[in-house]
């Protein structure tokens, strides 16, 4: 209920000088190298930020930010794809631009590490590269949901990126649908059903991209005194190699999508794109 | 999806600024469970906010709803989180133990030194004395409970004292929201401006002292710049994804629409009418002409989605008071943030720019052990 007993009018604020403190995209990430004093006495926090490193905080050049990801937040499927359904997460560490989650439990052979990009990083890379190619997914993402189902389970997918002009949408991540192989639906069948759902209900052409993941570590288990259990380990080289593989896999998907859009005439050939 | 369950419009207080019309409506446990079932069809995770009136008047429904959700969690792995907004009168150890067992976060409404100006019993008697033991009891079980205050025009001069009260009482998360429906005057806003300047100084000192706290509206307004273009996109996603369920199971786009049937978009038994929902989403996406040239439109909390109705016509309904408040608050919050940035406050940097801050903060507090 609006109370009209006031002395104000609706009027725009004009000539407001934008503030000088940076936003998340323009911040010099070196500013985050120094931790608050209160963390200096906290071993677990220091250990966590110690491996964050500088690279993990550079973020991406995307002008848009997304909620942060943790092992608990929206990445169950990525873990499940590598851990045969287990769901107990030990910790999250960020190495460069990748998140490494330790997993214990499930029906697999033992604790492993899985490296993958955060949704924030990956969507930023996707968006930037597509914008360079000539299609900028700038529109607010509508809350369109499509459902694939069989007699036992139902999968709901939502758009992560959307271009209003071409009605193209991107769904991400999609690896959790690997779970459905256990229930007699192939990955392709799920994608088909969801694509039809988006097309029929919303006139959106949906493309599915996967958050690439790479299992690292050679199962050389050691005892972790803080966690009080055995964990797998991995080397610096393995971390670096995993990061490179993740970028390569994501960029391959983006390349394939761009090629498809060019074939369909939605994007002009590469030489016609103006900077 | 996040659901707000309006369990009842009954209340054991009679706050002067309450926008909920009093009545005797009560949500049955069956309706609440159907609401949960409906939310589950919309994907995981599901956040449930118990709301009212005073939701603790329907404690049994809360227990049954959570039990139902936990059954679903055990069978399917669907994730749930729970919150409640309460005036605290009916909080006791039993409920706090239950809340702890299911990680139900409590938002405690209290106006500090203004409590007896605006929040009293229906017979007019004051409530602050009765509540004096509730805050320490609450914080013993939930050190991160949210202290929520509403600032009425009549007590604008107490804004700083309200926050100081909450802080001294032990709250780390504090929100101060204006009663926009009050008859604010320019003179009130001058006082409000001075109070915000005083609060900004408190915020600055606490931050430089590396005290852990969250204070809205400053933190939210600073975030509106730091998140850049994503701020309103993310806000709009949240506002589109938080329907309210009236006591009878009718679904509304948000809590402010619950007493107007014209805004109904479905029912928990039959689901959402997507045409109607899309209609309101599209209406909410069109800012007013007057807002389009505003220099702080992208940071305004009211430029989108605040619908109002005149007959059959729906438009954005930002009030002049809300507009004036955004214009007052934004420069004060920005000046505060600029100062802390220039001073290289490490807590400021990490709190606002480090996306891992919530995780690290929880790790520091021993909440997240893996």
Domain CATH for B159: 3.20.20.70
The domain boundary, picked from B185, B214, B231, lies at: B231
Number of Cβ within a 10 Å radius of residue B315: 15
Q: Report yes or no on B310 lying in a domain.
A: yes
CA distance B122 to chain A (A): 22
> Which of B210, B318, B359 comes nearest A37 by C-beta?
B210
d(CA B137, CA B88): 10
Residue B349 has pLDDT above 50, yes or no: yes
The whole-number pLDDT of residue A5 equals: 57
Average pLDDT, chain A: 66
Query: By the 8 A CB rule, do A91 and A70 touch?
Result: no
Q: Report yes or no on B182 lying in a domain.
A: yes
pLDDT band at A59 (very low <50, low <70, confident <90, very high): very low
Q: Report yes or no on B332 lying in a domain.
A: no
Per-window interface: B 285-344 vs A, CB < 8 A: 285, 288, 290-297, 308, 317-321, 323-324, 326-327, 330-331, 334, 337-338, 341, 344
Query: By the 8 A CB rule, do A33 and A54 touch?
Result: yes
Interface test with B, best of A2, A72, A147 (most B CBs within 10 A): A2
Q: What is the DSSP string of B270-304?
A: TEE-HHHHHHHHHHHTS--HHHHT-TTGGG-SSSS
Q: Report yes or no on B326 lying in a domain.
A: no
Nearest to B79 by CA among B2, B133, B148: B2
d(CA B246, CA B252): 8
Phi and psi, residue A149, nearest 5°? -150, 155
Q: Which domain holds residue B265?
A: 232-318
Which long-range contacts link A108-112 to residues 24+ away (Cβ below 8 Å)? A108/A83, A108/A84, A109/A219, A110/A219, A110/A221, A110/A230, A110/A232, A111/A221, A111/A229, A111/A230, A111/A231, A111/A232, A112/A82, A112/A83, A112/A215, A112/A217, A112/A219, A112/A232
Q: What is the pLDDT of residues B291-318, one digit of tens each?
A: 888 999 889 888 777 788 888 888 778 8
| Full-model pTM | 0.65
d(CA A141, CA A144): 8
Phi and psi, residue A87, nearest 5°? -140, 25
B254 and B199 fall within a common domain: no
Give CA B91 to chain center in angstroms.
Answer: 19
d(CA A160, CA A102): 26
Residue owning tokens 């309006």:
B6
The domain boundary, picked from B177, B200, B231, lies at: B231
Residue A71 has pLDDT above 70, yes or no: no
Domain boundaries defined on chain A: 33-267
The whole-number pLDDT of residue A112 equals: 55
Biggest CA–CA distance in chain A, Å, is 72
- For residues B103 and A159, the model is more confident at B103
Q: What is the pLDDT of residues B5-26, one digit of tens each?
A: 999 999 999 999 988 888 899 9
Q: Report yes or no on B335 lying in a domain.
A: no
Check CB contact of A27 with chain B, cutoff 8 Å.
yes
3-state SS, residue B49: strand
B47 and B137 fall within a common domain: yes
| Helix (H) or strand (E) segment spanning residue A195 | helix A187-202
| B chain contacts of residue A229, beta-carbon cutoff 8 Å | none
Q: What is the pLDDT of residues A176-235, one digit of tens each?
A: 444 444 445 566 777 787 888 888 888 899 998 877 766 666 555 566 555 555 555 666
d(CA B354, CA B26): 43
Phi and psi, residue B4, nearest 5°? -110, 120
Per-window interface: A 219-248 vs B, CB < 8 A: 227
Residues with Cβ within 8 Å of A134's Cβ and at least 6 positions away in sequence, in order, are A267, A268, A273
Q: How many CB pairs under 8 A join A and B?
A: 169
Check CB contact of A196 with chain B, cutoff 8 Å.
no
- Indicate the burial class of B214 (C-beta count within 10 angstroms; 0-12, 13-18, 19 or more): middle
Q: What is the pLDDT of residues B41-92, one digit of tens each?
A: 988 789 999 999 999 999 999 999 999 999 999 999 889 999 999 999 999 9
Q: Report yes or no on B164 lying in a domain.
A: yes
Q: Report yes or no on B189 lying in a domain.
A: yes
The tally of domains found in chain B comes to 2
Tell which phi-psi region holds residue A235, choosing left (phi > 0), alpha (psi between -120 and 50) or beta: beta
The whole-number pLDDT of residue A221 equals: 56
Check CB contact of A16 with chain B, cutoff 8 Å.
yes
The domain boundary, picked from B187, B205, B231, lies at: B231
| B chain contacts of residue A94, beta-carbon cutoff 8 Å | 356
């Amino acid at each position: 209920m609006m109370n009209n007993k006031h002395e104000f009018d609706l009027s725009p604020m004009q000539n407001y000088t934008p503030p000088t403190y940076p936003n998340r995209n323009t911040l010099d990430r070196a500013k985050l190298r120094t931790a608050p004093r209160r963390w200096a006495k906290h071993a677990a926090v220091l250990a966590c930020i110690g491996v964050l490193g500088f690279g993990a905080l550079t973020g991406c050049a995307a002008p848009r930010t997304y909620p942060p990801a943790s092992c608990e937040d929206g990445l169950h499927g990525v873990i499940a794809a590598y851990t045969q359904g287990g769901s107990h997460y030990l910790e999250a560490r960020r190495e460069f631009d990748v998140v490494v989650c330790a997993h214990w439990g499930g029906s697999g052979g033992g604790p492993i590490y899985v490296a993958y990009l955060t949704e924030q990083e990956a969507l930023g890379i996707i968006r930037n590269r597509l914008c360079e190619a000539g299609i900028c997914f700038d529109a607010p993402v509508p809350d369109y949901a499509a459902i694939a189902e069989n007699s036992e389970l139902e999968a709901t997918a939502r758009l992560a990126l959307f271009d209003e002009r071409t009605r193209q949408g991107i769904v991400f991540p999609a690896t959790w649908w690997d779970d459905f192989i256990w229930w007699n639906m192939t990955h392709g069948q799920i994608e088909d059903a969801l694509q039809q759902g988006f097309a029929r209900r919303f006139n959106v052409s949906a493309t599915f991209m996967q958050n690439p993941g790479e299992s690292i570590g050679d199962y050389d288990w050691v005892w972790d005194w803080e966690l009080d259990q055995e964990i797998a380990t991995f080397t610096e080289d393995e971390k670096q190699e995993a990061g490179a593989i993740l970028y390569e896999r994501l960029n391959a998907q983006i390349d394939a999508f761009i090629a498809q859009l060019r074939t369909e005439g939605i994007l002009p050939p590469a030489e016609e794109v103006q900077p | 999806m996040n659901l707000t369950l309006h369990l009842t419009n009954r209340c054991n207080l009679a706050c002067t600024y309450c926008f909920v019309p009093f009545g005797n409506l009560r949500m049955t446990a069956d309706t609440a469970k159907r609401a949960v079932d409906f939310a589950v069809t919309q994907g995981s995770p599901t956040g449930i906010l118990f709301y009212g009136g005073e939701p603790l008047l329907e404690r049994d429904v809360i227990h049954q709803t959570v039990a139902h959700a936990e059954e679903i969690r055990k069978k399917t792995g669907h994730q749930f989180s729970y919150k409640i907004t309460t005036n605290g009168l009916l909080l006791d150890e039993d409920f706090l133990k239950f809340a702890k067992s299911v990680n139900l976060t409590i938002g405690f409404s209290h106006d500090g030194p203004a409590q007896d100006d605006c929040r009293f019993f229906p017979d007019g008697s004051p409530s602050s004395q009765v509540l004096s033991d509730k805050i320490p009891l609450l914080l013993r079980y939930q050190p991160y409970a949210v202290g929520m205050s509403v600032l009425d025009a009549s007590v604008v001069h107490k804004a700083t004292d309200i926050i100081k009260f909450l802080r001294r009482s032990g709250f780390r998360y504090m929100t101060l929201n204006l009663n926009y429906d009050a008859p604010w005057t320019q003179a009130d806003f001058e006082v409000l401006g001075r109070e915000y300047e005083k609060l900004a100084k408190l915020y600055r000192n606490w931050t430089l002292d590396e005290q852990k706290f969250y204070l809205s509206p400053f933190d939210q307004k600073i975030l509106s710049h730091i998140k850049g273009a994503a701020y309103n996109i993310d806000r709009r996603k949240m506002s589109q994804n938080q329907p309210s369920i009236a006591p009878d199971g009718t679904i509304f786009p948000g809590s402010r629409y619950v007493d107007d049937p014209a805004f109904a978009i479905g029912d928990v038994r039959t689901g959402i009418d997507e045409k109607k929902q899309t209609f309101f989403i599209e209406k909410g996406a069109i800012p007013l002409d007057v807002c389009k040239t505003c220099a702080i439109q992208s940071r305004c909390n009211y430029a989108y989605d605040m619908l109002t109705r005149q007959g059959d016509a729906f438009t954005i309904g930002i009030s002049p008071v809300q507009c004036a408040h955004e214009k007052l608050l934004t420069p004060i919050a920005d000046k505060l943030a600029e100062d802390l940035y220039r001073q290289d406050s490490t807590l400021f940097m990490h709190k606002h720019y480090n996306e891992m801050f919530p995780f690290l903060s929880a790790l520091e507090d021993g909440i997240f052990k893996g």
